[in-house]
């Protein structure tokens, strides 16, 4: 492994006050909660953190605050992606300046680059900054799929490209990436419900949303699988599966914010164009997440 960021990384939400400014008191509570419930690392300023509606100044302020609260207890990764290569490079340099342990950088969205364009984009990022880089492939949001051959070429040419977060339900792609990439290259699952299946094909762990609620149990599932206790891991997966599905019943991070507010950790406010769940949707969500309340305490 080129650089070990841990097995359970939480893509952290950004809590807001009623006026939609960042709620730093809630953020401190949340960071401590995540560390206490099994997160090996925290991803700041990812999509789950509502970066489409955060300014770059806000992202920097949030990261600096989180770094202070973490106080070296776990690693901190900063989301530094953009559909502009120039912006992705400048964001990566800013992450280095702020003291990030690594960056997550997404396939450019909306402008739908070719595989060659993706290669050029990530080459520019990796060449610009002396930090471990996690590639992020999420075709449902970007509109294009980064092919395993492109991942492999980048992994072979840039030692600081250490991992890929794969948010694609086509599990054959995991086999392809595992077959084509160097042995020390890391694969992270980007969809909670696919963590165990992807690990069976060689994924190292998960960049998770559900770990806001069930971090210890997700960590237990990962540890059980890696220790050869496959049936135990499967039992945990099946127990968590309703949670994995329900926290994506609406655009992320709306449901997980509602769940965390329900448990008293944050307020549920989101910035438009996201909107909070209505009462019937909350009833549907809480009927499931209440079964996991013991994991939040």
Paired strand residues for 104: 79, 134
Residue 249 burial class via C-beta count within 10 angstroms: exposed 0-12, middle 13-18, buried 19 and up: middle
Peptide bond into 113 cis (omega under 30): no
Active site residue 136: yes
Q: What is the number of structural domains in the chain?
A: 1
- Assign 246 a pLDDT band (cuts: 50, 70, 90): very high
Tell how many helices (H) and how many strands (E) occur in the chain.
13, 8
**Residue 274: inside a domain, yes or no?**
no
SS3 16: strand
Measured at the CA of 161, the angle between CA 128 and CA 217, to 5 degrees, comes to 130
**Residue 266: inside a domain, yes or no?**
no
**Residue 190: inside a domain, yes or no?**
yes
- Assign 112 a pLDDT band (cuts: 50, 70, 90): very high
Report whether pLDDT(218) > 90.
yes
**Residue 287: inside a domain, yes or no?**
no
Element (H, E) at 208: strand 205-208
Q: Of 75, 94, 109, 136, which one is the catalytic site residue?
A: 136
pLDDT of residue 281: 98
**Residue 51: inside a domain, yes or no?**
yes
pLDDT of residue 279: 98
- CA dihedral of 135, 141, 144, 149, whole degrees rounded to 10: 30
Give me the CATH number covering residue 157.
3.20.20.70
**Residue 185: inside a domain, yes or no?**
yes
Range of the domain at 51: 8-228
CB 11 within 8 A of CB 218: no
Q: Of 67, 153, 165, 219, which one is the catalytic site residue?
A: 165
pLDDT tens digits for 24-75?
999 999 999 999 999 999 999 999 999 999 999 999 999 999 999 999 999 9
Report whether pLDDT(297) > 90.
no
DSSP state of 10: E
Report whether pLDDT(250) > 90.
yes
CB 279 within 8 A of CB 30: no
**Residue 192: inside a domain, yes or no?**
yes
Active site residue 109: no
pLDDT of residue 90: 98
**Residue 243: inside a domain, yes or no?**
no
- Assign 247 a pLDDT band (cuts: 50, 70, 90): very high
Average pLDDT estimate for 170-184? 98
pLDDT tens digits for 87-111?
999 999 999 999 999 999 999 999 9
């Amino acid at each position: 492994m080129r650089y070990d960021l841990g097995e359970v990384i939480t893509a952290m939400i950004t809590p807001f006050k009623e006026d939609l400014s960042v709620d730093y008191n809630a953020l401190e509570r949340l960071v401590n909660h995540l560390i206490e419930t099994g997160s090996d690392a925290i991803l700041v300023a990812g999509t789950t953190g509502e970066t489409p509606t955060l300014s770059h100044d806000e992202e920097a302020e949030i990261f600096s605050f989180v770094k202070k609260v973490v106080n070296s207890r776990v690693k901190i990764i900063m989301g530094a992606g953009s559909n502009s290569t120039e912006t992705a490079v400048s964001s990566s340099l800013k992450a280095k300046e702020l003291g990030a342990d690594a960056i997550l950088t997404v396939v450019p969205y909306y402008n739908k680059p070719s595989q060659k364009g993706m290669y050029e984009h990530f080459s520019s990022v990796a060449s610009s900054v002396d930090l471990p880089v996690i590639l992020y492939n999420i075709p449902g949001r970007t509109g294009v799929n980064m092919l395993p051959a492109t991942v492999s070429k980048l992994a072979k040419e840039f030692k600081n490209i250490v991992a890929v977060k794969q948010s694609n339900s086509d599990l054959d792609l995991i086999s392809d990436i595992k077959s084509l990439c160097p042995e020390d290259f890391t694969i992270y699952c980007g969809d909670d419900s696919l963590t165990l299946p992807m690990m069976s094909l060689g994924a190292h762990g998960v960049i998770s949303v559900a770990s806001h609620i069930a971090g210890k149990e997700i960590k237990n599932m990962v540890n059980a699988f890696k220790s050869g206790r496959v049936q135990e891991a499967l039992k945990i997966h099946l127990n968590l599966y309703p949670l994995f599905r329900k926290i994506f019943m609406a655009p992320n991070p709306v449901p997980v914010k509602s769940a965390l507010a329900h448990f008293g950790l944050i307020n549920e406010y989101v910035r438009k164009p996201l909107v909070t769940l209505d009462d019937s949707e909350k009833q549907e969500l809480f009927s499931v997440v209440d079964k996991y309340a013991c994991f939040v305490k």
